[in-house]
Amino acid sequence: LIMVSDALGTSSQIYALDLELPHSVSGKYSELHLGGVDIAYQNSMEMTEAQSDYSFKIYDISVCGSTLYQESTGKTAKIDTSSACLKLPSDIFDALPNWAPIVCETINNRQQQTQCFLPGLRFPRLPHLKFRLNRDGVVFQVDLTDLIMGPESDPNSLNYLTNNETTLFRRRLCLTRGSNATDPVVFGVRALRQLYTVLDYRPGNQAVGMASKMSSDVPAEVQCARRVPCQGMQVHQSDNTCKDPDCSEYFFLELDDTDKTCNFSAAFHTITAILIVMFLTVEFSINFFHEHLTKRVHNALTPIDSPDRIDTKVETDSKANGIEMASIAQ
């Protein structure tokens, strides 16, 4: 517990958290600063407005170079020092196993909790979860490696906190899933080890601030999965999956599972053939009536005794009489 005075002023309602691994592992102690911000982080500190329940917004959440949430409204987040783990909304949580080398399982108990593990023989290093406190602000990082616990038989063992050795058994992650996509991101103690965090509880000035404690040369995309290649008209999603085109939104189109494209359905070809036959029938009918109408108009405008008059009835009778006379002659 350390009293601090800084540019924010000295106030018992300003708290700062400088959390570390247990002293037996890191040789350092976690500290709670009262009254202000450590001078080492004053220049890199970024503040954001907090709500009445001390929740705040974070933006541009990403992992392995893929944005998991980019809505301009941001995701609600909270600081919870009573929890050790990082809690993520269901949509972000479900996308993580497709990028990081972890396996998540639903535990068959009354609460239907989901637990994630680092498989055995996997090197204990995970990618970083990135976010911003402000829309155009600094990018902060949570090293998911800090969430790796001991083996299932002894998850709280301190012997594995350095994460320097590969083990034969799988290790649990201090990572929990929200019940839905609207649940807040909750930063527990483990998720805050790489962040110097400030909580300003002064009335009318409620805010949350962060400064990164992480070295700039620490790789952020460790053991990231390869981007899944998509086919045809598929669209790559933020959870590293491919979404088929929604062909049903268009008339007479259906999905071809072979090349993942929208093709015309059999109904389209049938209807097209029917329309062609109908068109040809109408075309021939129009030509027939046009020719017949032309003759009638011509006759109407031509005198009866004119040799140019076309009389289809007379011609027909003449032909019939000619045939009859030829038969008699024979």
Q: How would DSSP label each residue in 49-70?
A: E--TTS-EEEEEEEETTEEEE-
pLDDT of residue 310: 59
Compute the distance between CA of residue 284 and CA of residue 103 in angstroms, rounded to an integer: 69
pLDDT of residue 218: 83
pLDDT of residue 5: 54
pLDDT of residue 304: 65
Question: Checking DSSP bridges between strand 171-173 and strand 103-106, what pairing results, if any?
Answer: unpaired
pLDDT of residue 314: 46
Question: Checking DSSP bridges between strand 114-118 and strand 171-173, what pairing results, if any?
Answer: antiparallel
Nearest to 16 by CA among 154, 135, 192: 192
pLDDT of residue 330: 43
Compute the distance between CA of residue 281 and CA of residue 273 in angstroms, rounded to an integer: 12
Q: Cβ distance 97 to 190 under 8 Å?
A: no
pLDDT of residue 265: 73
pLDDT of residue 213: 92
pLDDT of residue 185: 96
For the chain of 330 residues, list the mean pLDDT of each consecutive stretch of 10: 53 85 83 88 92 90 92 92 93 94 81 84 91 94 91 72 78 91 94 93 89 87 91 88 86 80 77 84 85 75 64 48 46
Compute the distance between CA of residue 110 and CA of residue 306 in angstroms, rounded to an integer: 104
DSSP-derived 3-state class of residue 12: strand
Question: Checking DSSP bridges between strand 235-236 and strand 46-49, what pairing results, if any?
Answer: unpaired
pLDDT of residue 323: 46
Compute the distance between CA of residue 169 and CA of residue 151 in angstroms, rounded to an integer: 7
Distance of CA 310 to the CA centre of its chain: 76
DSSP 36: S
Nearest to 130 by CA among 184, 225, 43, 58: 58
Q: Cβ distance 72 to 135 under 8 Å?
A: yes
pLDDT tens digits, one per residue of 260-299: 888 877 777 777 788 888 888 888 888 888 887 887 776 6
Residues 6+ apart with CB under 8 A from 7: 36, 37, 42
Nearest to 148 by CA among 113, 123, 178: 123
pLDDT of residue 104: 92
Question: Checking DSSP bridges between strand 242-243 and strand 235-236, what pairing results, if any?
Answer: antiparallel
Q: Cβ distance 85 to 193 under 8 Å?
A: no
